[in-house]
């Protein structure tokens, strides 16, 4: 997780807990459908 300001390295008095896999299947499905529609409307990328 990085950007111009790495929030995980700053000292704000707390550390956020990162939990992976939340809504994983729903997100995968949404992204797959989006790119499938994009490919069919524009041809192969």
Decide if 38 contacts 32 (C-beta within 8 A).
no
Indicate the domain borders of the chain. 1-45
How far, in Å, CA of 25 to CA of 33, rounded?
12
Encode pLDDT of 5-14 as tens digits: 777 776 767 7
Predicted model pTM:
0.50
Decide if 15 contacts 8 (C-beta within 8 A).
yes
How far, in Å, CA of 15 to CA of 24, rounded?
23
Encode pLDDT of 2-40 as tens digits: 577 777 776 767 777 889 999 999 999 999 999 999 999
């Amino acid at each position: 997780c990085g950007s111009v300001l790495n929030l995980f390295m700053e000292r704000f008095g707390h550390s956020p807990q990162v939990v992976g896999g939340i809504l994983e299947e729903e997100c995968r499905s949404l992204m797959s459908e989006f790119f499938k529609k994009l490919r069919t409307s524009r041809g192969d990328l």
